Amino acid sequence: VRTLVVIGAGQAGAETAISVRKHGFGGRIVIIGAETHMPYERPPLSKDLLTGATGIEDAYVFAPGQAEDLQVELMLGVSVSAIRTNDTTVDLSDGQSVSYDILVLATGARARELTVSGSDTTKIHYLRCLADAEHLGAALKTAKSVAIIGGGFIGLELASAARKLGANVTVIESQPRLMTRLLPAEPADYLAGIAREHGVSIELDARITHVSDKGVGLGDGCVIDADVIIAGIGAIPNDDIASAVGIRTDDQGGILVDQVNRTNLPGIYAVGDVAVRKERPNGPSQRMESWQNARLSAERAARHITKHGPAVEDGPWFWSDLFGATIQIFGKTDADMPVVRRDGETAPVFLGQDAIGRVKCVIDFGDASALRAAKALMANGQALATDGSDLGDNEEDDMKQ
């Protein structure tokens, strides 16, 4: 019997196990995970779970009894310390070892830590796992003022949650606008407007000089008072055990994989946040940190392992719940791309274009029908109509399933 070992009991690891079984893998499946919890999806950690509206059970990847039904063995609360490719075995932190025929690395990423003066002596919250969310949720219950370092999605979701819980909130961003990694200027500015309407103060172009128990010091001499400081400044892929055995990694971090998520070593795959892949064979390599990518990369690897044809690919899709609205981003965004705004019935839609006017991405703030129309334009490689009629009426379609 062949053994498939998955390192990392997060979303992508669990989805890989589910997918290989779905595609007929009859061997042994072992998932090894450093956290003690059943594999869970992370999006609720910065949203409903943080505010106490939902519990972790709602976020589990396996339905109740599903892991047993699929005969997936879970070794939780123990991490893989080394991969030994010569004898196809992984060593665990508790002294055990497990042999594999096929290995899937699904080790995800960890929160990047702040390094400014005072960060080693001040309590800074980070958010990557359930334990982080529990500590932060408890701190936010009594917080009067919250400083959030980083104006990306995690930072804004936390701002939204902290406002819901009644705190004064300041978001501190070093760039001249929010969301520089994910959004072009117009939708980013629109989002900043929504955040301000909900009472969030935003400091752009800010240079942090130090942090202390009083708050966050800025280059202009101001101190943002805060009894809770949170940093959402990006994630670092957990690729160390891979690079230690000659699995190729990217200069920016992450494990390099091919179109079906194979690494350079035979029988070893990487999926989820840790994988760096080219979306097109000759395109740029990129690491995607999203729920959709965790699922799709697992499906790709599972189909290859079980010798099925390629997975059905969809363009990159990301969503976030912010200040009572759901924002969805579909397609490849670029910070500098030209953007056209269309005011739909419920909320504006932003369409990003390439150099010859074809629609390449759509960012909507709750108008799912316009999103669907925009996706059709993208699929057909169409340019926008000059009279703005192209996002006409469509059936309601919510991509979240």
Given 4, 5, 6, 12, the residue binding ligand FAD (CB under 6 A): 12
Instruction: Report the distance separating Cα 13 and Cα 368, nearest Å.
Output: 30
Given 4, 5, 6, 10, the residue binding ligand FAD (CB under 6 A): 10
Decide: is 239 part of the binding site for ligand FAD (CB under 6 A).
no
Least separation in angstroms between residue 125's CB and ligand FAD is 11
Question: What single DSSP character describes residue 14?
Answer: H
Kindly report the number of other CB atoms within 10 A of residue 253's CB atom: 17
Least separation in angstroms between residue 281's CB and ligand FAD is 23
Least separation in angstroms between residue 382's CB and ligand FAD is 26
Nearer to ligand FAD, 43 or 348 (CB): 43
Q: Which helix (H) or strand (E) holds 292?
A: helix 291-305
Angle at 32 between CA 313 and CA 262, to 5 degrees: 35
Nearest to 259 by CA among 232, 237, 277: 277
Nearer to ligand FAD, 241 or 361 (CB): 241
Decide: is 118 part of the binding site for ligand FAD (CB under 6 A).
no
What token pair was written down for 380? 């057909």
Instruction: Report the distance separating Cα 103 and Cα 294, nearest Å.
Output: 17
Strands (E) across 302-345 are located at 317-322, 325-331, 339-343
The window from 3-11, 65-73, 144-152, 332-340 that contacts ligand FAD (CB under 6 A) reads: 3-11
Nearer to ligand FAD, 307 or 400 (CB): 400
Given 19, 25, 46, 125, the residue binding ligand FAD (CB under 6 A): 46
* Contacts with 328 (C-beta within 8 Å, 6 or more apart), sequence order: 317, 318, 319, 362, 363, 364, 368, 371, 399
Give burial (CB, 10 Å; 0-12/13-18/19+) of 132.
middle
Q: Which residue has the tokens 């009279």?
A: 387
- Tell which positions 142-171 bind ligand FAD, by CB under 6 A: 154
The window from 29-37, 358-366, 372-380, 383-391 that contacts ligand FAD (CB under 6 A) reads: 29-37
* Contacts with 72 (C-beta within 8 Å, 6 or more apart), sequence order: 17, 21, 29, 30, 31, 62
Nearer to ligand FAD, 88 or 292 (CB): 292
Instruction: Report the distance separating Cα 167 and Cα 224, nearest Å.
Output: 14
- Tell which positions 297-356 bind ligand FAD, by CB under 6 A: 318-320
The window from 30-38, 179-187, 200-208, 279-287 that contacts ligand FAD (CB under 6 A) reads: 30-38
Decide: is 106 part of the binding site for ligand FAD (CB under 6 A).
yes
Nearer to ligand FAD, 318 or 365 (CB): 318
Decide: is 294 part of the binding site for ligand FAD (CB under 6 A).
yes
Decide: is 269 part of the binding site for ligand FAD (CB under 6 A).
no
Note the helical H segments in 54-173.
66-69, 130-142, 153-164
- Tell which positions 51-80 bind ligand FAD, by CB under 6 A: 79-80
Reading phi first (left if > 0) and then psi (alpha if -120 to 50, else beta), residue 308 is in beta
The window from 267-275, 359-367, 378-386, 387-395 that contacts ligand FAD (CB under 6 A) reads: 267-275
Given 119, 168, 290, 333, the residue binding ligand FAD (CB under 6 A): 290
What token pair was written down for 313? 């690919």
Least separation in angstroms between residue 78's CB and ligand FAD is 7
Nearer to ligand FAD, 173 or 289 (CB): 289
Question: Which residues bind to ligand FAD, rule: CB under 6 A?
Answer: 7-13, 32-35, 42-43, 45-46, 79-80, 106-109, 127-128, 154, 238, 241, 272-274, 289-292, 294, 318-320
